[in-house]
Every structure is written in structure tokens, then in C-alpha cells.
Amino acid sequence: MPTSLRLSVVVPCRNAEASLADALRSVLASDIARQSYEVIVVDDGSTDACQAIAARHADTLIRLGAGRRGPAYARNRGAELARGDVIAFVDADVRVRPDTLSRMLALMAQQPTIDAVSAGYDDHPSVPGLASQYWNLLLHLRTQRAGVAPGQFMAACGAVRRGAFFAVGMFNEWHFRDRLEDVELGHRLAEMGHETVLVRGIQVAHLKRWTVGGIVSEMWGRSLELARCLTFERARSLASSEMVHTFITLGAFGVATAATVEPAPGWPVTVSVAVLMLLIADRALFGFFLRRRGLGFALAIVPLHVLTQLVGAAAVASGWILRHTIGDPMPDPTTQAYAEVGVDVWPPVPRRR
Amino acid sequence: MLAQRVPNAPEDTEVIVVCAGQPANLPAMQRTLRYAQLMLAPAGTTIEELRVLALAQASGDIVTLVSGAESQPNAVVDRGLARP
């Protein structure tokens, strides 16, 4: 559906040559008139062929130079240069469908009260391998579950009105350098009265290849950051359902381990109960894997799932300890000092409550 | 057409024009785009390859790439890093 809204597509990337061309081609294959949108790639210090790939497909390339500044910083720099009424963020490992961006724009044109629209991951990730299939399907399920909750924004493929984005202070590049910056932005948008929606029917493909180590690292970083940022009022609601699942899994694992290390009469029953606890806690997840990939896949991912949950629980505990010993991660002292006395800096630093 | 696509380039903007083959109107182009750096690539070089060549020549932090029509040269506008 044609709309009068002009669109800027911002694609941050760092060493993403494996998927960047695919991602950019999918954006350029969108069913939107080419003259009504621009594509801005922000290269965050890549050492691979990202810049050359961007030059082939993008309208503008921003080179941030050597070093890594993180996706929040990169997206903010891209947004500053964007000229569109709506800014769509698309990750370098995401393939949009031809109608993804046009449906987002159409929704925002039809409903002016909606300030941000996010897409979810689809349920047939193309990257093979148990780890990639597991994690990408898990992300699909999470975005499907999250769709009903307010304040959802997914920067992997999310569009936001320019005015709303700048009014709330863009991505928080000081506090959330690597992860959760989009979740935090969604909560901040909602908190400041901007309506955000995650439309389950608008979907994109995740092209990221995951290893077990990568999943563990992601889970650790995400959970650690989640726990360390709990002092911010707006981030409190982040730690809800995920943690309940994590601690139930941890409890089940502990019971099963204790029963097998020091076997007592009736230990098979204890282990069975623990496994049952695990299945009940994540029944929706295992049921989903069972339906989509069969019994073999659902059973095969149990050890990986337990591992990620254990890592998540350990990271949450570590984050809690860090928060109560070192405190929150903060911007550099000068920036923070300016923010505390109310002097605006750019980009804005979120003030403590 | 190229001059219209690269309008009012500020003094601190580096403008690079990469052409596939030698254009017939090269002297006129040089007169019109005095501030531009002209590069000639072999005839038959694709638009995508021209863009990569131009990028390699650009020194700015922000590079805007503007493609002409198939028969038109490719241009790169290289802007300094701007902050609001």
C-alpha cells in the first residue's frame, strides 16, 4: 500500500560480510517505490568486506572507524543522518520479506497513534545446525510471545517515527552498548506515552549462524546486563517470565544432579520428577519444537536448553552481585556529571530516577 | 544530469565521479564539476564495481553514493561527519 511516509532504513554492521549482501538485497526488493526510501549502512569498524558490500547496495555509508562502538551507537549515528519520517532499523543478519517494510509503513500511516512497529522472526530459519536452529526458533517463539505485551521494540527489524525516536532520546548507547538496547528503547517509548506494537504476522528471517559457544556468550551477556540494569525503573519489568523459567530449570537441574551424585532409594523417581518439572516449566517451548521439528529435535535440544538456562541463572546471580558491589555501568564521569545537573548533551544520557 | 545530482557541494565535501569508459563529454563534465575528482574505469565496469572503486577513493567518514542511469557515470559524494 503506497503511503506518503518517507522511510530511512538504517543497517548497522560489523564483520557481517556473510549476510550483509543478502540483508541489503532483501531491503532493496521491498515493494516500496525506490525513490521513497533511503538505505543507510553504518559500519562499526569492520575488518572484512562489509564496506564494499555496502557501497554496492546502500545510498549512504557511515564509517565509524576502527574499534567497536556497539549497535546502539551505530544505529543512533545512522538515525541522525536519516531524512525519512519513519526510521526502520534492520540488522545485517536479517532478511526482510518484500512486504515487511511496506506493511510496517502502511500500519503507521493508517494508525497515526502507533509510533513504532516491530516484526518478529519467522519459524523456518535457513541456517542449518542444531545450535542455529534451536536459538533462531527460540527467538521466533519469544517474539511471538512478546507480541501481546506493550512497549515492545525489536531493532532487528523495527520501525519508529522519527519524532518519537528523537523525543525519547534515541537508543541508550551509554548503558546498553551491546544488548537489550532495543528492549530498553521499547519500554522507554511506552513509558513516555508512545504506542509500540510487535506485529506477529510481519516476519523476517534471521540469518545468523550460532554455535553453542555463541549461544552461551549471548545468554551470559544478556542475563548479566538484565540483572545489572534492574535499578532503572523502566528496566524492572524486563526480568519477568524469562527468570521464572530459568530458576525452575535451575531447581530441576539441581534436584536431578543431587539425586544422581548421591543416589538414595527411589532416585529414579526423583530424577523423573525433576525432568517433569523441566518439561512443565518449558512445555510451550518443547511442544513448539516437537510440532515443528519432531521428537528427535525436541529431545536433542534438551541438554543445550538446560545449559543456556544454567548460564542464564549464573549470569543473573553475577549481575546482581555486581550491581550491589560495583554499581550500575555508567557513562564516563564528565558526561554523567553534565546529565546530573541537567545540561543536555548529545546523545542524551538517561537520568537516574 | 550529474551536476543536478550533486548540487551545491560544500567546500569541505569531497566529490568523486567514476565513469565506466571515457565519456564523450569529458571536457564539459570537467568544466561543470570543477570541484569533483574524476576517475575513469575500464568500459564495461558495472555500476556496483564503480561504487566500490569510488568508495576506495573516498576519505570521509560519511559516504553518499549516487548512481546515474545505466549510461551515466557514477558519482560519490563524500561528506564530513556531521552532528546535529
Is B5 at the interface with chain A, CB within 8 A? no
Contacts of B60 in chain A (CB under 8 A): 63
Q: In the 8-state DSSP scheme, what is residue A234?
A: G
Instruction: Say whether A55 and B63 touch across the interface (CB within 8 A).
Output: yes
Instruction: Say whether B52 and A346 touch across the interface (CB within 8 A).
Output: no
Contacts of A52 in chain B (CB under 8 A): 52, 55
Question: Is the ipTM beyond the 0.85 threshold?
Answer: no
pLDDT for residue B24: 82
Q: Which of A52, A59, A346 sits opposite B52 (nearest CB)?
A: A52
Q: Give the C-alpha distances (Å, rounded to integers) separating A264 from A127, A249, A259, A273, A294.
A: 44, 22, 7, 14, 34
Above 60 in pLDDT, residue A7? yes
pLDDT > 90: percent of chain A = 44
pLDDT for residue A255: 75
Tell me the Cα Rg of chain A.
21
| Cα end-to-end distance, chain A, whole Å | 43
Instruction: Say whether A80 and B84 touch across the interface (CB within 8 A).
Output: yes
Bridge partners of residue B15, in order along the sequence: B36, B77
pLDDT for residue A188: 87
For A311-336, the pLDDT digits (tens) are 888 888 888 888 788 776 666 676 66
pLDDT for residue B25: 84
Domain count, chain B: 1
Query: For chain A, which domains are there?
Result: 5-210 (3.90.550.10), 237-328 (no CATH)
For A336-347, the pLDDT digits (tens) are 676 666 655 555
Instruction: Give me the residues of B, 27-56, that contact A with CB < 8 A.
Output: 48, 51-52, 54-55
Alpha-carbon span B28 to A199, nearest angstrom: 53
Average pLDDT over residues A172-183: 80
Instruction: Say whether A61 and B84 touch across the interface (CB within 8 A).
Output: no
pLDDT for residue A347: 55
The number of C-alpha atoms within 13 Å of A2 and in the hemisphere containing its C-beta is 5
Report the residue of B18, B55, B76 to disrupt the A interface, i.e. the one with the largest count of A CBs within 10 Å: B55
Instruction: Say whether A60 and B52 touch across the interface (CB within 8 A).
Output: no
* Of the candidates A79, A73, A149, A88, the residue with the CA atom closest to the CA atom of residue A118: A88
Average pLDDT over residues A12-25: 96
Instruction: Say whether B62 and A64 touch across the interface (CB within 8 A).
Output: no
pLDDT band at A348 (very low <50, low <70, confident <90, very high): low
Q: Which domain holds residue B39?
A: 2-81
* Of the candidates A33, A195, A191, the residue with the CA atom closest to the CA atom of residue A112: A195
Average pLDDT over residues A99-110: 95
pLDDT > 70: percent of chain A = 86
For A218-275, the pLDDT digits (tens) are 999 888 887 776 544 444 454 455 566 666 777 777 777 777 777 777 777 877 787 7
Q: Give the C-alpha distances (Å, rounded to integers) separating A306 from A69, A139, A249, A309.
A: 32, 16, 7, 5
Determine the residue of chain A that is closest to B65 in CA distance: A59
| Cα end-to-end distance, chain B, whole Å | 30
Contacts of B16 in chain A (CB under 8 A): none
Contacts of A169 in chain B (CB under 8 A): none
* Of the candidates A64, A62, A47, A51, the residue with the CA atom closest to the CA atom of residue A20: A51
Residue with the bigger pLDDT between B3 and A27: it is: A27
Q: Give the C-alpha distances (Å, rounded to integers) separating A56 from A15, A52, A88, A97, A303.
A: 16, 6, 20, 20, 43
Q: Which pTM does this prediction carry?
A: 0.84
Alpha helices in A111-240 (DSSP H): 130-146, 162-167, 181-191, 212-228
For B41-80, the pLDDT digits (tens) are 999 999 999 999 999 999 989 999 987 654 333 345 554 4
Q: What is the DSSP code string of A15-31?
A: S-HHHHHHHHHHHHTSS
For A284-308, the pLDDT digits (tens) are 888 889 988 899 998 898 889 888 8
pLDDT for residue A318: 86
Q: Which of B60, B65, B81 sits opposite A58 (nearest CB)?
A: B65
Other C-beta atoms closer than 10 Å to the C-beta of A147 total: 15
For A184-216, the pLDDT digits (tens) are 898 889 888 999 999 988 999 999 899 999 999
Contacts of B5 in chain A (CB under 8 A): none
A84 touches A7 (CB < 8 A): yes
pLDDT for residue A331: 63
Above 70 in pLDDT, residue B17? yes
Q: What are phi and psi of A39, to 5 degrees?
A: -115, 120
Which of A45-54, A63-72, A243-252 holds the top average pLDDT? A45-54
pLDDT for residue B80: 44
pLDDT for residue A256: 72
* Of the candidates A108, A183, A109, the residue with the CA atom closest to the CA atom of residue A151: A183
Average pLDDT, chain B: 76
